Chains A and B, each alone.
Chain A
Amino acid sequence: MEEKINKIDKELLGEISNLENIPKGAYNIRKNGKGIERKVTENINIVTKTDKPGIDIYVKENTKFEFIHIPVIITESGLKDLVYNDFHIGKNANVIIVAGCGIHNDHHKDSEHDGIHRFYLEEGAKVRYIEKHYGEGSGDGKRILNPVTEVYLKAGSSLEMESSQIKGVDSTIRETKGELEENTNFVVSEKIMTHGKQFAKTIFDVQLNGENASTHVTSRSVATEDSEQFFVSKIYGNNKCFAHSECDAIIKDNAKVTATPEITANNVEANLIHEAAIGKIAGEQLIKLMTLGLSEKEAEEEIIKGFLR
């Protein structure tokens, strides 16, 4: 077993999923383009795709409060990993899915992981989806992550997605799409922090097709040094529905942030709101924390830590 989980792997797994040990519930661990550990449960089956790289995850109807972990780690410089993961969530099932990708690149070739995640929720299903992206390593090879998330919500189902990318990813283009039937709810909260010459772009595209579909998209980001971020959000209200999207960014140094909100109402009962704010850390926030004895640097760190919580 040459593919055993070593120390670097463990640390990467810890960063993206807070997993010190093998997780409870079902899991599939992918390392350098190959699945290396898998466990299924009575209610959750994981099957390797035969037509392309990736897995199908089947959750039986009425499954209650089970965990599914599908972490990906890349430690091989120069690897470009593309994977398709499809989640089929049965009626009224309620599960927590923890995904994420950690790249450790000590060399000068680019390492890339493009994960295409599709979620098919049957009537009344509920999913909480947590995704963390993290990069590290001393090499000048880039660490690139381009996730695509597609969410298909049948009547009465809901999905809550939390994504975060705080450190070490040089380039990312994140696309998130949703198609919502009646009485569904899609909540997205995204946290991004970029440094150096990093680049991050996120694109949301949500179609509110059913009556009483609703979505809430929140993006909090911090762009520092020479990094660049783009936030694009397109929401279409095609029925009596509700949408709220907000983009809130802190910029520092020479960073650039562009927010492009787009809301389209194709129905007179659609209620769509977008808020966007970009600015540097408020001087009065720094001053307040400094009056408590924090140095300017410590104050800034606390403000950012809170902001990205």
Chain B
Amino acid sequence: MLLQLKDICFERENRKILDNINLDIDLGKFVAITGPNGSGKSTLAKIIMGIEKPDSGKVILNGKDITKLPIDERAKLGISFAFQQPVKFKGITIYDLLKMAAQKQITKKEACETLSKVGLCAKEYVDREVNGSLSGGELKRIEIATVALRGAKLTIFDEPEAGIDLWSFNNLIQVFENMSEIIKGTTIIISHQERILNIADEVILMKAGKIQEIGTSKQILEKTIGNTTCCKINNALK
């Protein structure tokens, strides 16, 4: 067992944002989390990374209780997190960020290779600043590249498809379909996209801070909406 969440509760402003979450994730699995907006998916991911601390409950990685560990120590233990909204900087270039992610000296050529894998024409990008001059889709890809370079044991993606236009999305799906090439280890991916859910080993459905259901993508999609049109998931669950 790579990751165990035990009785995780997180309450803010008298609202139970996460209500007693229990979850085990096996080594090497590709797990998707889906569910309506506001159901607590991002909060759960942040609790695993240590960006938020649960009010009660435990986070266990490889049998070790990491509930109280800060973000950077969890990162060093092998957890990696791609933000739903990538962070922008001033003056830090894509190459700088990739070097930090790799935690070692990498050449521009290696950085470019990683960028190519997420579908960015590398030469044009590597020296650009990670700032508002990049489009949402570009920032998302860079976010995915930083995470990919870390080669972590456990990688969490928060809605990698969000903010990416349909055309780019098709490319991005390929990136995830070839995920094993980029990321070795266990993957948790928060997504609303049927094509992403379809490549997952298991799909976790969240609703109102609780885990409603765990199953294959087919089971989850059929149970919740009776058909498998991805875009309808949200509406149907609301």
A-side residues, CB < 8 A to B, are: 220, 248, 282, 284-285, 287-296, 299, 302-303, 305-309
Contact = CB atoms under 8 A, between A and B. Distances in A.
> Considering residues B89, B93, B103, B146, which has the most beta carbons from chain A within 10 angstroms of its beta carbon?
B89
Nearest to B90: A307
B100 A292 contact: yes
Nearest to B74: A291
Interface string B74-117: 01100011010001011111001100110100000000000000
15 contacts: A220-B90, A282-B87, A284-B87, A288-B83, A290-B75, A291-B72, A291-B80, A292-B75, A292-B100, A292-B101, A292-B103, A293-B100, A294-B72, A302-B96, A306-B96
Contacts of B100: 289, 292-294, 302
A306 to B, nearest CB: 4
Contacts of A296: 70, 72
A125 to B, nearest CB: 30
A293 B83 contact: no
Shortest beta-carbon contacts, A-B, top 9 = A306-B91, A306-B92, A293-B75, A290-B71, A288-B87, A290-B72, A309-B91, A307-B91, A291-B81
Given A291-B51, A292-B97, 4 more contacts: A290-B70, A290-B71, A293-B72, A307-B91
Nearest to A293: B75
A302 B92 contact: yes
Interface of B: 49, 51, 70-72, 75-76, 80-81, 83, 87, 89-93, 96-97, 100-101, 103, 146, 150
B44 to A, nearest CB: 15
Contacts of A291: 49, 51, 71-72, 75, 80-81
Contacts of B97: 292
Contacts of A289: 100
Q: Which of B71, B80, B93 has the most C-beta atoms of chain A within 10 angstroms of its own C-beta?
A: B71
A288 B150 CA distance: 13
Contacts of B90: 220, 248, 306-307
Nearest to B87: A288
Contacts of B72: 290-291, 293-296, 299
Nearest to B98: A292
Contact of A293 (B51, B76, B91, B96): B76
A299 to B, nearest CB: 8
Contacts of A285: 87, 89
Nearest to A277: B90
A293 B150 CA distance: 9
A309 B71 CA distance: 27
Contacts of A305: 91
B205 to A, nearest CB: 26
A306 B103 contact: no
Task: Find the residue from A284, A288, A289 having the highest chain B CB count within 10 A.
Answer: A288
A307 B92 CA distance: 7
Nearest to B85: A284
